[in-house]
Amino acid sequence: MPDTVLEVIPLSDAQQRVFSSVSRLPERQIACERSAGLVLARDVVATENVPPFANTAVDGFAVRSSDVANVPAELRVIGTLAAGDGTVWHVGAGEALRIMTGAPMPDGADAVVMVEDCEQPIPDRVKINKSVTAGASVRPVADDIRAGDTVFTAGSVLNAAGAGVLSSMNARNVWVYPRAKVALLSTGDELVTDGSPLQRGQIRESNLTMLELLLADAQCEVTNLGVILDDEAALERTLRDAARTHDAIVTSGGVSMGDFDVVKAVLSRIADMQWMQMAIKPAKPFAFGLLNGSDAQDHPQRQVPIFGLPGNPVSSMISFELLARPALRKMMGYTDNLLRPTIHAIADAPLRRKPDGKTHFMRVFGHFGTDGRLHVRDTGPQGSHQLAATAAANGLAIVPDGSGVDAGGSVDVMLLG
C-alpha cells in the first residue's frame, strides 16, 4: 500500500482532515413536505397571513360583547356557521350567530361565548350565562404569521412543525441544502446476506443494515449496493459509477492495517486516499478520500468523498458517528452541531479500561436522575465485534486514557439519537 499512513493521530486531527475536505452541496428547491430535517439555504418570507381571516377559537355563539355585559342575557339566533362556510353574516344588536371553531367571524360581532356557557332551548333563542369582553375567543387575522414576516432564516433546520408552517403559508417549495445521496457498500468474502446456511468461515452481514438506517436517520438518501465481490475491475466500475451518481460513498470493511483486500487496492489506485489510524478504541482504522465523479460538463470537477469504515460492526458504527455523519451533515448545510451533543454524566458503576494511549468510546445506557443529571452504566461486553451490547446503548462514554472512571465519577457522554 503506497499511501498507508502508519502514524496514529488523535481523533480531532482525523476529524479536522475529513471535515475540511468536504463542502456544502449546491442549494436546491424542495417541496415543503420533504423539507423536515434539512437546513434552509435562504430566508423564507411569508406571502400570506396566517390565519388568513379573523375566526373563532371555540364552538359557541358570536355576539356583540356589549350585549352580554349583564348575564344571563337572551339573544336571537340568526343562523349557524361551520368552518369553511364563506357566507357573510352580520350580527346586529340583540343577535347571536351559532359558530364552529375556525369559522370566520361575522361582521358586527366582536367576541364568541363558548357553547358550554350557553343554553339554546329552541333553535332561534340562546341564553348567554357568561359575560365576555371584546376579542374573547377570537383569533385575529395574521395572529400566527403576517405576510412580509421572515418566518425562517437561512441556516435554520426545519422540523415537522416547520414543514407544517411552510404548508400553512403556502410556501410549497423552499431552498435547502439537499439530502446527500450516498452509495453504501460492504466488502468481505465471509459475508452472507441472503439468509442461506452459513458455510464454515462465513458470517451474517450486519453493517449494511445498520449503516443504511444510520444514513437515513442522518437525512441522507441511500443506495445500498450490497456486498461487493472480490474482483478489482468490477469494484472499480462500481465505485466510479457510484461517484458519478452520488454525493458520497460509504464503504464497510477492509481499511485495517495489513488488510490487502480489493477495496483498499482499488481505492489506493483510483482515489486520493488517506489511510488513518486514530488514537481511539474501538474504530482505530479509518479511510477517507476523494474520488473524481465528474461528467465531461462538470466544471469544476466533482470530488466525491469516500468514507472507509472498518468492518467490525461496533467500529463501523462509531466511526460513522464520529467522522462520516458529521461530514455528511456539513455537506447538508449544517454549520454547528455537526457532532452529537455531549454532556457531563455520572458513572453509576465503574467504567474500567486499561491505559493504552487511546480514548475509549464505551457503550452506555443513561437515564436522567431526580438530581437532573445523566447517570450511565455500560451495556455489557465492549468488544468491537459485540454489536448486541451496543444495541442496548443510548450513549457513548468518552473515557480518556488511564484506568477508567470510578463509580460516582464524572464522564462525558455523547448522546446517540
Residues found near Mg ion in the complex (CB under 5 A): 188, 253-254, 311
The whole-angstrom separation of Cα 181 and Cα 177 is 12
Does residue 56 contact residue 138 with C-beta atoms inside 8 Å?
A: yes
Does residue 237 contact residue 185 with C-beta atoms inside 8 Å?
A: no
**Residue choice 117, 205, 247, 378 for contact with ligand AMP (CB under 6 A):** 205
Choose the stretch contacting ligand AMP; rule: CB under 6 A; options: 15-23, 65-73, 98-106, 309-317.
309-317
**What minimum distance in Å lies between the beta carbon of 271 and ligand AMP?**
18
Count of residues near ligand AMP by CB under 6 A: 18
The site partner of 310 among ligand AMP, Mg ion, none (C-beta below 5 to 8 Å per kind) is ligand AMP
Q: Measure Cα distances from 117 to 68, 132, 247 in Å.
A: 12, 10, 61
Choose the stretch contacting ligand AMP; rule: CB under 6 A; options: 3-11, 57-65, 201-209, 404-412.
201-209
Choose the stretch contacting ligand AMP; rule: CB under 6 A; options: 23-31, 101-109, 306-314, 368-376.
306-314
**Residue choice 106, 289, 293, 311 for contact with ligand AMP (CB under 6 A):** 311
**What minimum distance in Å lies between the beta carbon of 190 and Mg ion?**
7
Of 98, 95, 44, nearest to 74 (Cα)? 95
Our CB check for ligand AMP shows the closer of 311 and 326 to be 311
**What minimum distance in Å lies between the beta carbon of 14 and ligand AMP?**
17
**Residue choice 55, 206, 238, 319 for contact with ligand AMP (CB under 6 A):** 206
**What minimum distance in Å lies between the beta carbon of 311 and Mg ion?**
5
Q: What is the grid cell recorded at 236?
A: 472499480
Which residue in the shown chain puts its C-beta closest to ligand AMP?
311
Q: What is the grid cell recorded at 212?
A: 443504511
The site partner of 289 among ligand AMP, Mg ion, none (C-beta below 5 to 8 Å per kind) is none
**Residue choice 60, 104, 188, 305 for contact with ligand AMP (CB under 6 A):** 188
Q: Does 310 bind ligand AMP (CB under 6 A)?
A: yes
The whole-angstrom separation of Cα 298 and Cα 319 is 31
**What minimum distance in Å lies between the beta carbon of 262 and Mg ion?**
10
**What minimum distance in Å lies between the beta carbon of 190 and ligand AMP?**
5
Q: Does 390 bind ligand AMP (CB under 6 A)?
A: no
The residue assigned the cell 458513572 is: 347
- What φ, ψ does residue 153 adopt, rounded to 5°? -105, 155
**What minimum distance in Å lies between the beta carbon of 313 and ligand AMP?**
5
**Residue choice 45, 83, 203, 229 for contact with ligand AMP (CB under 6 A):** 203
Full DSSP string of 102-150: TPBPPBT--EEEEGGGEE-SSTTEEEE-S---TTTTEE-TTSSB-TT-E
The binding track of 208-227 with respect to ligand AMP, each residue x by CB under 6 A or -, is x-------------------
Q: Does 303 bind ligand AMP (CB under 6 A)?
A: no
Of 218, 244, 223, 230, nearest to 189 (Cα)? 230
The whole-angstrom separation of Cα 364 and Cα 375 is 10
The whole-angstrom separation of Cα 353 and Cα 356 is 9
Q: Measure Cα distances from 75 to 70, 92, 106, 125 in Å.
A: 12, 10, 16, 6
- CB environment 70-99: b (16+ within 10 A), e (fewer): eeebebebbbebeeeeeeebebeeebbbbb
Our CB check for Mg ion shows the closer of 289 and 311 to be 311
- Please state, as a whole number, how many other Cβ atoms lie within 10 Å of the Cβ of residue 334: 18
Full DSSP string of 6-40: EEEE-HHHHHHHHHHT--PPPPEEEEGGG-TTPEE
The binding track of 236-275 with respect to ligand AMP, each residue x by CB under 6 A or -, is ----------------xxx-x--x----------------
Our CB check for ligand AMP shows the closer of 197 and 258 to be 258
| CA pseudo-torsion sign 255, 258, 259, 263 | positive
Our CB check for ligand AMP shows the closer of 206 and 390 to be 206
Q: Which residues bind ligand AMP (CB under 6 A)?
A: 186, 188, 190-191, 203, 205-208, 252-254, 256, 259, 310-313
